[in-house]
Structure 1
Amino acid sequence: MTENTDQSKTTVSPVVAPSKFSRVLSGFLNSPFAGMTPWIVMGFINGPGRFEEAAAVAFGLSLLFVLGGHKRGSKIKFLEVFDLVYFSSMVLLAQFAAASVVDWLELWGGEMTNIALVSFAFVSILIRQPFTMQYAKESEPEEMWDNPLFIHINYMITWSWVLGFGVGAIAGFYGDYVLNDNNNFWTGWIIGLAGTIFAISFTEFYPEYAVAKEMAKAGEDAVPQSLMRLLDWVPIFIIVTGVAGLVTDSTSTTLGVIIIVVGVVIKLGMRALSPDNKKA
């Protein structure tokens, strides 16, 4: 007698760890940088004859980031909603407004963009809901949400964006109204970009700094990073500014070279003053 025995085979699917690219993308979509990107892009693309393209790209990015974040389980943020409303309005104006209105937007669209974002960030502070809080809550446990340090960090980061885009708005207004040149190398590009990079640098730097400082106050073994770290981007930015000035003929050869040399000197000086270098 032959006995047939059915053996069940269970196939276990291997758990695939997310790739480095996927982790970086998720981190980006779950950070304020995603909501800021369309504004930065709009500010830099907009110019004579480019308002329609700038508005379309900014709106497309806004929609893409909202859908991408939602697909990964992130909640829709107030900033993302503001992005969609603002840039969809700009797209409609580009398509249906009178030519004189579009011409005005091409001249002042960059400043409008900066002012709109500064206003949004400032209002979020006034109503005691700094917009970065929604992003921070997705990476911190719920028991931390009412922590005074957690709240303080988000207020400070939101203020850094108010400052960064405020600088861009003031510089752009000066270039457009006083210099009558909305494509000026300094007021239309360099100063605004510096303000944005400062806000990005502060957003990356301040949380760890604030936590270490609070721990040190409590007598724990923690040493806050040097505030010099907040300026790590400055010398490279100066060097790139000099190179850009030379390549685009926005500066004289002499001035471009001087700017590059100043950037190199500052870089070497910061390296010499670095706490890590002193320890070595």
Structure 2
Amino acid sequence: MKFIDAYVKSPFAGLAPWILMAVVAGPGRFEESAAAALGLALLTLWVGTRRGVPVHALEALSVGYFGVLAVIGLLAPAGVIDWLDLWAGELSNIVLAAFAVGTLIVRRPFTMAYAKDTTPPEHWDTDQFRRINFAITGAWAFAFVVSAISGGIGDAVLHDNDNFWTAWIIPIGALVFATAFTEFYPEYATGETTSWAGAVDWLPPFVVITGIVGWVSDEVSDTVGITLIVIGVLASIAVRRLLPETAKVTEPQ
């Protein structure tokens, strides 16, 4: 199936277990979240190998990391589990950030392996191919660092690991940014588009949704919720007017 092939050949195959753990994790659910993430990591690895997709470093990291967490969940004393209930999310973000930054330092950005699955071999050694993957990996590294810092502030400063802003909005926004950049930048770098709209058009709807969710859930005041909605709507109009989508750039005949 095309959807499954696209999934196992994209960075989301490696990121999905980490996202699942972030969603499932919560007070008293460390063992369940680690086991669920490990199960998804193993399933992704199995599906990928069955479809002839090579094992990528991020998938290997996912299996190893969540395997260790699952064993800790089974064997560690209650005090360690309590600590991980609070800090497992930030620890995971730190591991991801270190992994992404490390691949940049050794000049083998982790997204390059996925890009090779869908790009003809003659492009692999080009400067453009490398530049695109350095940029995309950098965007993901930035998102992981932001998520780790945000979660750390929520836990260590606010003493609230379920804070609306530090546990949800900021980390989700960082991941949505990285996802949008992953979709946008290859076309921009290759000249298929000259507009930056694809890099920022996710932000106004995200602000609107943040305002609605925060308002309905009473996580923000009526004033803040309405203000966010208005800002998001106005920003959406501004993006459409100031950064219109451009037609694909073609070479003159």
TM range (shorter): over 0.9
Paired letter, 2:190 = V
* Alignment of 1:256 onto 2:235: no
1:101 and 1:247 mapped to 2: Cα distance? 36
1:187 and 1:171 mapped to 2: Cα distance? 5
SS of structure 1 residue aligned to 2:26: coil
Q: CA deviation at 1:24?
A: 2.2
| Aligned with residue 114 of structure 1, among 93, 99, 112 | 93
Give the equivalent residue in structure 2 for 1:166: 145
Give the equivalent residue in structure 2 for 1:209: 188
* Alignment of 1:243 onto 2:212: yes
Paired letter, 1:227 = W
User: What's the TM-score once normalised by structure 2's chain length?
Assistant: 0.93
Larger Rg: 1
1:234 and 1:261 mapped to 2: Cα distance? 13
* Structure 1: tracts of 5 or more residues without a match: 1-21, 213-222
* Alignment of 1:63 onto 2:42: yes
Residue pair 1:43, 1:114 contacting (<8 A) in 2 also: no
Residue pair 1:118, 1:165 contacting (<8 A) in 2 also: yes
Q: CA deviation at 1:274?
A: 3.6
* Structure 2: tracts of 5 or more residues without a match: 247-253
SS of structure 2 residue aligned to 1:114: helix
**Displaced runs of 4 or more, over 6 A:** none
Q: CA deviation at 1:255?
A: 1.5
Q: CA deviation at 1:47?
A: 2.1
Give the equivalent residue in structure 2 for 1:25: 4
1:184-243 per-position Cα deviation (integer Å, ceiling 9, x unaligned): 00001100111111111111111111111xxxxxxxxxx633113201110111111111
Aligned length: 246
User: What's the TM-score once normalised by structure 1's chain length?
Assistant: 0.84
- Tell me whether 43-52 or 79-88 shows the greater mean CA deviation: 43-52
Q: CA deviation at 1:272?
A: 2.4
Q: CA deviation at 1:60?
A: 1.2
Residue pair 2:42, 2:63 contacting (<8 A) in 1 also: yes
1:137 and 1:32 mapped to 2: Cα distance? 12
Q: CA deviation at 1:136?
A: 0.8
Give the equivalent residue in structure 1 for 2:26: 47
Give the equivalent residue in structure 1 for 2:241: 272
Residue pair 2:205, 2:236 contacting (<8 A) in 1 also: yes
Q: CA deviation at 1:276?
A: 4.5
Paired letter, 1:58 = A
**Alignment of structure 1 residues 103-252 onto 2, 5 Å:** 103-212=82-191, 224-252=193-221
| Aligned with residue 60 of structure 2, among 67, 71, 81 | 81
